[in-house]
Amino acid sequence: MEQQPEQLSFDFYKEKPHIARQSRDELRLTLGKFAGPLDLLLYLIKQEQANIFDIPIARITDEYLKYIRLMKSFDITLAADFLVMAATLIEIKSKMLLPKEITEETEEEMEDPREALVRQLLEHQKFKNASQMLYERSTVEQAVFGRGKIESDENNAETNASVFDLLTVFQKILSRHKEEVQMEIEREEVSLADMIKSLKKQIFEKKELSLLAFFEEMHTRRELVTAFIAVLEIVRTEGVKLMQTATFGDIILKKI
Amino acid sequence: MEIEEKQPRSIAEIISIVEALVFVADEPITVKTLSDVLEEDRETIEAAVEELKQEYEDRTGGLQLREIAGGWQISTRTEYHEEVRKYLKTRPNAKLSLAALETLAVIAYKQPVTVPEILEIRGVQSASAIKTLLDKKLITAKGRKETVGRPMMYGTSKDFLLQFGLKDLSELPSIEDFEDLVQ
Amino acid sequence: MEIEEKQPRSIAEIISIVEALVFVADEPITVKTLSDVLEEDRETIEAAVEELKQEYEDRTGGLQLREIAGGWQISTRTEYHEEVRKYLKTRPNAKLSLAALETLAVIAYKQPVTVPEILEIRGVQSASAIKTLLDKKLITAKGRKETVGRPMMYGTSKDFLLQFGLKDLSELPSIEDFEDLVQ
């Protein structure tokens, strides 16, 4: 997928990709970062000094595939779109190779297999030029500054929200919520060994411990069960006594 | 109690008040707002703004009055950006990536436009570029297209006009103008 | 490589830069700061500031340059305080605090929703945010929930749709729209 980091700046003229031919069949990639397969195609057409309305499809397809192979050999992850374009080119190429049976009736309907691609390239080129215009405008605009804060400005942390902010904020709340649930699950996974350890520590520190208070520290049913087993275990193995002062009263764990 | 009769304002006074209001406004202030606050008709305000603009131009001081994003704003002149930047210690804003700029160009000219339509023109998936543009508030959602799947449509925002120094969308050069440049 | 020799600035240019800097500064800007940024000596800056001040006085526009708290500042003339105040008051305050925005998001996506349910989702008491949203008419009461205590349910209002540029609630971006972008 398209995962380009935001660049701090770029120069439209410098950013042009360049494949240098080192020897007869070795290409060298000096700089190549295309915004998409259409960019690469436009570049290749220019490189071949071909007419955009009469693209030498076989040659351009070969060059295109060469470039893709090159990118692969450089371990550049190729966006799926580059491969889709490769398939399109190969399809056009094979259509062009088909012997043409020109008859009076079909001639008019025969569409050049390159036509859709050419249309797309021209359209794309227009927007590329438009984006350069935007780039230039924003450069000028960045040299202009508004006034500083004045006393009447409220400078509390307020946001001017759009619908998408609403969604983003909502998702943040939901994920915050999920994290909380996550924490509970983590707490559930206290092992029996850990529980015994913590129980022992408490009894040895305080000499005696209210069973009710201990159980109240548990957050989930599973923890409670673990705690209960821990109590049984500690009474069995350690010198700890269970004492109850009144019927249904609190039970005290006491170190003997 | 005395009831004070309001004297009609002189044009010089109106210009001065317009200047004061443009100055205090956080955002470009519209002729309509000015007209509402001053209780003067649109034409009077428009004439006052134009004269004020001329005055700023004739002074060639450090400031300019300009029309942007549908309103009027006072800002520094581009000539002095170096010194202003030095004082504010700001670097030029992080610029948009090529992919984001291209996507923005498509959205600016084809709005309202859906993600599949952008893909069609760019020939490349534009999801992350769209996300960047949304984060930077350069584009906003513009409702859904009444077609299969009701995809979200996108258009440019007011911040887009501000950041690219446009009065309004009609100030964008026509996309056909870029055709001559092909080849 | 060519080394560009800096031309000494004309006094008019210095005055313009001083004006631009005073304008962008958040606080009254001192002669020292101006002198540091421009790399001109104190006397030159002082003369420039004085001339600029005189210029502002002669213009009798909506603004004045004044010395305050040891620095220089551009502000509106006191004569126009009435209009300025009137404008600042009428300014639509479309801004929401983050707490209000969060609460609004919950209400928009979960409506109709009760206060305990909002608390459950946000994990924070939202009473004052709900009050703000009601005051701004972004949400309205939508009857009571037939459950213990019959708590009031809230939903978004028509003003909400207007303010966020939505035709109806189905135009709210869905989680899926967003996921498409994040991928």
Question: Which of A135-149, B8-22, C109-123 shows the lowest mean pLDDT across its residues?
Answer: A135-149
Distance from CA of A217 to the nearest CA of C (A): 21
C40 has a chain B CB within 8 A of its CB: no
Of A7, A123, A150, the CB nearest to B95: A7
What is the rounded distance in angstroms from the CA atom of residue B109 to the CA atom of residue B177? Answer: 12
Give the pLDDT of residue A24.
45
Per the structure, the complete domain to which residue C142 belongs is given by 98-182
Give the pLDDT of residue C113.
94
* Residue where a domain terminates, one of C49, C64, C87: C87
pTM summary value: 0.69
Please say whether the beta carbons of B38 and B17 come within 8 A: yes
Mean pLDDT (chain C) is 87
Give the pLDDT of residue A8.
31
Q: Could you tell me the pLDDT band of residue A202, with boundaries at 50, 70 and 90?
A: confident
**Could you tell me if B62 and B121 lie in one domain?**
no
**Could you tell me if B69 and B22 lie in one domain?**
yes
Question: What residues contact residue B52 under an 8 Å CB cut-off, 6+ apart?
Answer: B15, B18, B19, B22, B65, C61
B66 is a domain residue: yes
Nearest CA in chain C to A147: C24
Cis amide leading into B112 (omega within 30): yes
What is the rounded distance in angstroms from the CA atom of residue A236 to the CA atom of residue A200? Answer: 13
**Could you tell me if B72 and B102 lie in one domain?**
no
**Could you tell me if C118 and C163 lie in one domain?**
yes
**Could you tell me if B110 and B172 lie in one domain?**
yes
Residue type, C121: I
DSSP assignment of C82-97? HHHHHHHHHS----EE
From the candidates B83, B85, B90, B95, which should be mutated to test the interface with A, based on the most A CB atoms within 10 A?
B95
Torsion angle of C-alpha atoms A109, A110, A116, A121, degrees rounded to 10: -120
What is the rounded distance in angstroms from the CA atom of residue A84 to the CA atom of residue A155? Answer: 51
Encode pLDDT of C132-155 as tens digits. 899 889 999 999 998 888 999 999
Distance from CA of B45 to the nearest CA of C (A): 14
Query: Can you give the CATH number for the domain in which B145 is found?
Result: 1.10.10.10
Give me B130's structure tokens. Answer: 């769209």
**Could you tell me if B102 and B178 lie in one domain?**
yes
Give the pLDDT of residue A181.
60
Give the pLDDT of residue B123.
85
Of A159, A170, A171, the CB nearest to C96: A159
User: Please, which residues 43-62 of chain A have a Cβ atom closer than 8 Å to chain B?
Assistant: 52
Give the pLDDT of residue C92.
57
The average pLDDT across B51-74 equals 94
- The domains located in chain A, with CATH, are 18-99+110-141 (no CATH), 192-255 (1.10.10.580)
pLDDT of residue B183 exceeding 70, the answer is: no
Give the pLDDT of residue A13.
41
**Could you tell me if C77 and C112 lie in one domain?**
no
Q: If you ran DSSP here, which 8-state letter would residue B69 be given?
A: T
Give the pLDDT of residue B99.
83
* Residue where a domain terminates, one of C52, C87, C122: C87
Give the pLDDT of residue B11.
93
Highest mean pLDDT range out of A25-39, A149-163, C145-159?
Answer: C145-159
Encode pLDDT of B30-44 as tens digits. 999 999 999 999 999
Encode pLDDT of B121-133 as tens digits. 888 888 888 988 9
Contact A162 B122 (CB under 8 A): no
B147 is a domain residue: yes
Give the pLDDT of residue A249.
63
Which of C90, C14, C63, C21 has its CA nearest to residue B52?
A: C63
Nearest CA in chain C to B11: C61
Q: Could you tell me the pLDDT band of residue A108, with boundaries at 50, 70 and 90?
A: low
**Could you tell me if C44 and C76 lie in one domain?**
yes
A168 has a chain C CB within 8 A of its CB: yes
Number of domains, chain C = 2
Give the pLDDT of residue A234.
79
C23 has a chain A CB within 8 A of its CB: yes
Encode pLDDT of A8-22 as tens digits. 333 444 444 445 454
B92 is a domain residue: no
Contact A164 C173 (CB under 8 A): yes
A161 has a chain B CB within 8 A of its CB: no
**Could you tell me if B139 and B75 lie in one domain?**
no
Mean pLDDT (chain B) is 89
The average pLDDT across C73-81 equals 91
Residue predicted with more confidence, A15 or C115: C115
What is the rounded distance in angstroms from the CA atom of residue C164 to the CA atom of residue B76? Answer: 32
**Could you tell me if C61 and C102 lie in one domain?**
no
Please say whether the beta carbons of A149 and C75 come within 8 A: no
Subunit partners of chain A (3 or more CB pairs within 8 A): B, C
**Could you tell me if B102 and B161 lie in one domain?**
yes
